[in-house]
Amino acid sequence: MLIKAILFKNNLIKKIKSKNILKTKKKFLELKEDYKKKKIPLLTSFEKNYKLGYSKKLVKVLRKKKNIILVGMGGSILGAKALYSFLKRKIKKNFFFQDNLSERNILELNSKKFNKSAYIFISKSGNTIETVANMNLIIQNKKKNDIQIFITEKTNNAITEIANKLKAEIIEHKNFIGGRYSVMSEVGMLPAELMNLKVKKFKNLNYLINNKNFVNRLISDVSCLYDLSKQKILNSIILNYDPDMNDLGYWYQQLMAESLGKKGKGFVPMVSIMPKDHHSLLQLYLDGPKINFFTIFTSRHQKKYRLSNYLMPKSIKYIANKNLETVLFAQRKAMENALIKNRIPFRTFHFLKKREEELGTIFTFFVLETILLSRLMKLNPFDQPAVETVKQDTKKILLKGQISINNL
């Protein structure tokens, strides 16, 4: 079963207040009713019958290309990166993600190594300056056998203008789906199809929203997180014990930060790569200010390599004949024990399998969690006004030409 492939463990609060549980249940039932009445249109993209706005013919053409390069920022690309990282053991196609302003990356993309490539440029607004800048640098050096595809809203914007000049295909980015919620739409599912993944297997909202185990865990976690917010325990730290889930952590980081970080409220989400960060941040996590709660990602993996007795010192003989999964399990278990001992709140998501179904389940869980939390905290989870302020100021500075060494 879908839910049984992910083990949920909640150690966020020892005893959840019944008042919070009842309040959260009420909000969940309201959300469920709103979903049924199509009042949260973005959730339609989480349904199996959501009609994707691209053709199978286009997918076939793009699959013939040697490389697939995605160009975008934030929610336009984080979902696809999470898909690729989580499921890369079954993906054979070469993917490259250009999600920042980097001359080194542009030089690499313009090299012969990336001949016969398909470029997918993604921006909901169509005016994201980093995406437009990267597009400009790539297209002016485009190679003969390259293809360009554009995903943006049906408006008069910079990307639409460029695409029309190139006579390139434009796929509509639905205006009711924000970037950070777009992983189940064309933005995430076109890359998923090019990875030869089964798109419909990601989409199980109709089943999950009526599944008792899923709903109970959702209500429990949201109740705890809401209580932690009122206690001013606001640092939400993701401890990731599986490198395949680093990008899932970054996707969740943006979802939580942009959706709930407003009006002086919200959490500060951070991704911590484990066990590497045992050797840099663990001291702070366990013995620093008690303002953190932790979300642990872990899975069954890395059984291929087994440590031998060869050149194994007697002092560390206890790791001999063990595989990496066993070592990681011991480190993660020791961390959980330390968090319990120090009365630090945490929860664990342990993936017994890593397939489209499990990733779709966790995407759905965190999206519903975020929307529910926003309702409890009386926030709009779909806007990001502070981000827009910085975008507008960037535009003013560039228009005025205020760029010089004296203004640094």
The pTM score is 0.94
- 394 by Cβ neighbours in 10 Å (0-12 / 13-18 / 19+) ranks as exposed
The angle at the Cα of 131, spanning 126 to 132, to the nearest 5 degrees, equals 70
- Are both 11 and 151 inside the same structural domain? no
In the numeric block, the tokens 């597009």 are attached to: 135
- When divided into structural domains, the chain yields a total of 2
- Inside any domain, residue 185: yes
Question: How would you list the strands of the sheet with 94-98, edge to edge?
Answer: 94-98, 67-71, 117-122, 147-152, 169-172
Preceding omega of 275 cis (within 30 degrees of 0): yes
Backbone angles phi, psi at 303, to 5 degrees: -90, -5
145 shares its domain with 234 = no
Say yes or no: 231 and 116 in one domain: no
Residues 167 and 237 in one domain: no
Same domain, 224 and 325: yes
Tell me if 405 is assigned to some domain.
no
The one-digit pLDDT tens for each residue of the chain (408 residues) are 456 678 888 888 766 667 889 999 999 999 999 999 999 999 999 999 999 999 999 999 999 999 999 999 999 999 999 999 999 999 999 999 999 999 899 988 888 888 889 999 999 999 999 999 999 999 888 877 899 999 999 999 999 999 999 999 999 999 999 999 999 999 999 999 999 999 999 999 999 999 999 999 999 999 999 999 999 999 999 999 999 999 999 999 999 999 999 999 999 999 999 999 999 999 999 999 999 999 999 998 766 778 888 888 888 888 888 888 888 999 999 999 999 999 999 999 999 999 999 999 999 999 999 999 999 999 999 999 998 888 888 888 888 876 664 565
Q: Is residue 406 part of a domain?
A: no
Q: Is residue 88 part of a domain?
A: yes
9 and 56 share one domain: no
* CATH assignment at residue 25: 3.40.50.10490
**In the block, residue with structure tokens 């009122």:** 230
Q: Do 184 and 233 belong together in one domain?
A: no
Q: Are residues 170 and 273 in the same domain?
A: no
Domain, as residue range, for 340 = 3-34+203-385
Indicate whether 334 and 314 sit together in one domain. Answer: yes
Q: Pull the structure tokens for residue 277.
A: 């960060």
Alpha-carbon distances of 328 from 109, 173, 245, 332, rounded to whole Å? 36, 40, 14, 6
Shared domain for 361 and 221, answered yes or no, is: yes
Encoded tokens for 255: 């979802």
- Verify that 188 and 88 share a domain, yes or no: yes
CB contact set of 109 (below 8 Å; sequence gap of 6+)? 69, 96, 98, 117, 138
Same domain, 225 and 193: no
**Residue 232: both structure tokens together:** 């001013």
